[in-house]
Amino acid sequence: MHAPPTRFEVPQAPGRPQLLPAPSRKLSQIPGVTVTYYDVVGTDIPKLHISLEKNGPRDPRTHKVTPATSNWSIGSAVKYTKTGGQCTLTGVTLKFTGTAVLPRLGSGASLAAPALANWNAYVAALEDRHAEQLAFVHDRLGEVQGAILHSDCDHWQKAASAAIERLSEEQAQAFRSDPKTQPKLLGPSKGG
């Protein structure tokens, strides 16, 4: 038998981790993650900034334009058996779904090599940051599964909800927003 699934969606904070190691994966290497892109055009870094501001997604919490966003959800369902009026959980299925929205150079963008190198480094830093955030959750799905299995047939949804909320809080703590650590799109240095 299957209990009805439950789904929780959690928007990502745009922050960067404080003391976490460099990301070990790209977004494409995290199961369940879909990446969409929006176009940015310009012939120099200031014009790219204008295009980022015009075309970038809005942060789900602050509603301010941000260069990249990501969010995640965890769907859960259980299998159980009933014997003599006793219900026992026999399995848990979790479905992690992540999304990320990142900028890419559109067909109208034409940059000199130094500006293009800065753009590529900037986009890579944005992707790394969101890959870290989504991997943080994906890699801890076992915590949600364990909480459900340690529950019972009547309370598994509450256990799932509490575990997902804990995971969301841990993630928010690990990835506090700090403007000093945000990736920045800088112009080419004048000296090199």
pLDDT in tens, 57-73: 988 778 888 999 999 99
80-95 pLDDT tens trace:
999 988 999 999 999 9
84-123 pLDDT tens trace:
889 999 999 999 999 999 999 998 778 999 999 999 999 9
Structure tokens at 138: 């994906």
Quote the pLDDT of residue 175: 85
Quote the mean pLDDT of the chain: 85
Residue 7's φ and ψ, nearest 5 degrees, are -140, 135
Pairwise CA distance, residues 76 & 94, whole Å? 5
Structure tokens at 104: 């890419």
Quote the pLDDT of residue 192: 43
What is the torsion angle, in degrees rounded to the nearest 10, for the CA atoms of residue 60, residue 123, residue 42 and residue 64? 20
CB burial of residue 70 (10 Å; 0-12, 13-18, 19+):
buried
CA distances from 112 to 116, 122, 187, 190 (A): 6, 15, 11, 13
pTM for the predicted model, two decimal places:
0.81
Residue 139's φ and ψ, nearest 5 degrees, are -70, -10
Q: Where are the domains of the chain?
A: 6-180
Pairwise CA distance, residues 135 & 114, whole Å? 31
